[in-house]
Amino acid sequence: RHFALSISRLSDRNELPGLDLVPTSAFQEALHLLKIILNTHDVSVVPDVSPLASMTELLDVVVGPILTLSNMSACQLEPVDNAVYIINLVSCLYNVLAMYENTDKTLELL
């Protein structure tokens, strides 16, 4: 819930990417929140719940808003710049997720 509110606040800023097409500060804040969630995930899983099922459900809820935030910030770019920017964002997201267990399904989708 906290994550959804944070993403909502970040999307209200609607930052445009700079000429270098690197992730905006809003996107980087969203990645930071994602890292916090993933770092605490293992210790917070209820014993009766499969870690894989729990992680899959978590990523379904978290990655979507991050990608929406990405598309919102890229929509005003020229097509080639938009593509480069989205590739940069997906690459950053991929690198974060690749550090954690049970993220393979989401990594494949990216």
pLDDT at 56: 76
In Å, how far from its chain's centre is CA 40?
16
Residue 23: pLDDT over 80: yes
Sign of the alpha-carbon dihedral angle for 57, 30, 1, 51:
positive
pLDDT at 36: 84
Residue 19: pLDDT over 80: yes
* Structure token pair of residue 27: 């996107």
- Which amino acid appears at position 63 of this protein? V
pLDDT tens, residue by residue, 49-106: 566 666 777 777 778 877 887 788 788 899 999 999 999 999 999 999 898 877 788 8
CA atoms within 13 A on the CB side of 105: 11
Phi, psi of 26 (to 5 degrees): -65, -45
